[in-house]
Amino acid sequence: MKLKDCIALVTGANQGLGKCYTEELLRLGAAKIYACALDVDWLQPLCGAYGDRIVPLKLDVTVGGDIAAAVKAAPDVTVLFNNAGILAAKGLIETGSSETFRREMDVNVYGLADMSLAFAPTLARNGGGAIINMLSVASLANFPPFGTYCASKAAAMSISHCLRYELKAQGTQVFGIYAGLVDTDMLKGIKGEKSDPKDIARVAMAGVEAGIGDIDADERARYMRKLLQDDPQALEYLQHERADAFVAANR
Ligand SMILES: NC(=O)c1ccc[n+]([C@@H]2O[C@H](COP(=O)([O-])OP(=O)(O)OC[C@H]3O[C@@H](n4cnc5c(N)ncnc54)[C@H](OP(=O)(O)O)[C@@H]3O)[C@@H](O)[C@H]2O)c1
């Protein structure tokens, strides 16, 4: 699909990957972006730089009232970009309760699902359009130091595939983006080789324009998908070895 002249709504657009996706969509000719954030004041830099091509919206993807208000405020959306996410950066036993896991599920899975449910009629009315879901290599294999996050991203991938099938009839394309460690606030203080979020945005939006459903946006994603296809058991062992190295370097 061509992104030129699209009208997109991007969740978590104030920083990190969401901000880079917003800027890449604008570079590709998006007519307007509903840039969403928990606090609209944090969208000032984007509004200042791009003027009325940016429409700021307050949106917490776990709050039904916010989602309903966004549907009302953005009737012309053709691309829904489910980018917002959180990471606890802990394992389940390490955390000692399932509370943070539930919070990750709320944002990373139910937030994505509720936004897709709410905006599906808008997309249908506007010709089909697309839903783009920010997934992760965490969707492909569990990395125990981020164990509960990985479980939520695996569920997000699964519901993304469900949406792809269910929304085909109304002409809505559903894309998933996969990346390894990316240099954003989410990983502040965590050591490791990280991709530049601007590179991820460029590769991912090129993938959308090329019509690739599941887009591996960096080397780590391409490597992990290959291993998953060739030898899933080897991938699990590799993740355990990486977990040992990660714990030694970061904890
Ligand atoms: N960084 C990585 O290594 C990496 C790799 C693969 C995938 N991802 C995924 O990429 C996406 C963006 O992450 P990022 O790296 O750009 O991290 P980030 O800089 O922490 O950005 C996350 C964004 O989501 C917003 N957000 C959090 N909870 C929300 C909620 N309940 N409702 C609405 N917005 C909410 C955040 O708002 P605040 O600014 O208020 O916190 C922020 O704008 C996430 O889905 C993440 O899982 C990240």
Residue 53: give its domain's CATH number. 3.40.50.720
**1 within a domain of the structure (yes/no):** no
Domain count, the chain: 1
- How far apart CA 62 and CA 239 sit, in angstroms, is 30
pLDDT under 50: residue ranges of the chain: none
User: Is the CB of residue 63 below 6 angstroms from any atom belonging to ligand 1?
Assistant: no
Kindly state if the Cβ of 83 falls inside 6 Å of ligand 1: yes
- Residue 81 falls inside a structural domain: yes
pLDDT, tens digit, 9 for 90 and up, residues 130-152:
999 999 999 999 999 999 999 99
Supply the pLDDT for residue 54: 98
Q: Ligand 1 pocket, 186 CB below 6 A? A: yes
Which pLDDT does position 57 carry in this prediction? 98
Residue 2 within any structural domain of the chain = no
What is d(CA 135, CA 221) in angstroms, rounded to the nearest whole number? 11
pLDDT at site 105: 98
List residues bridging with 81 in a β-sheet: 10, 132
42 DSSP β-pair partners: none
- 134 C-alpha vs ligand 1 centroid, how far in Å? 9
Domain span at 83: 7-250
The Cα–Cα gap between 34 and 203 comes to 22
Torsion angle, alpha carbons of 153, 158, 161, 167, to 10: -100
Mutate to test the pocket of ligand 1, among 9, 15, 100, 187 (most ligand atoms within 8 A of CB): 15
Among the atoms of ligand 1, which is closest to the Cα of residue 39? Answer: 40
